[in-house]
Structure 1
């Protein structure tokens, strides 16, 4: 309930976007107009791929092929996306699948900030995942 209330407040503050990763994917063509070379061009290519990932993972989690759906949405008109619950395509806003602009914007800003920090410090601190202990083998019957 608290998350829904917070999302509603964010939507009232800054507006809404088509949800399901569609808004991020729709911004990708703008990056084609950016004139950069070398490392900056690599950064733009990485960002373009990153903008596809939310939709790709929604589709994968729905048991479908992410790359196929991403390609179809890219070729569709803006605002058209994949409804993972119904398994069809359509206008995301008309279907009620929306995201608050503020949440999408701050998520992208924070991800960019973290990526910049990793690149400039050339290191990253993280937890080492613990290895799961092997389960005890079944006991033979006597």
Structure 2
């Protein structure tokens, strides 16, 4: 998940990894409780579509060197 996110977005790998881990953990809990795996898969797919849509709607294009530097500063944790 992290590698695919990095290839597509260039960052956000920690978020992608945390989300994948949470989806897996909760999915396994639901399966253990008798949930239908096909229904769960459809629900996860819908949730992913909604999340991607929200991210795209809230994204801001980065076009100049100063903006790219700000993204790098925030990403490095030196806000």
TM range (shorter): 0.3 to 0.5
Q: TM-score, normalised by structure 2?
A: 0.46
The higher-RCO structure (CA 8 Å, 6+ apart) is: 1
Of Structure 1 and Structure 2, which has the larger fraction of its residues in helix? 2
The structure carrying a bigger strand percent of its residues is 1
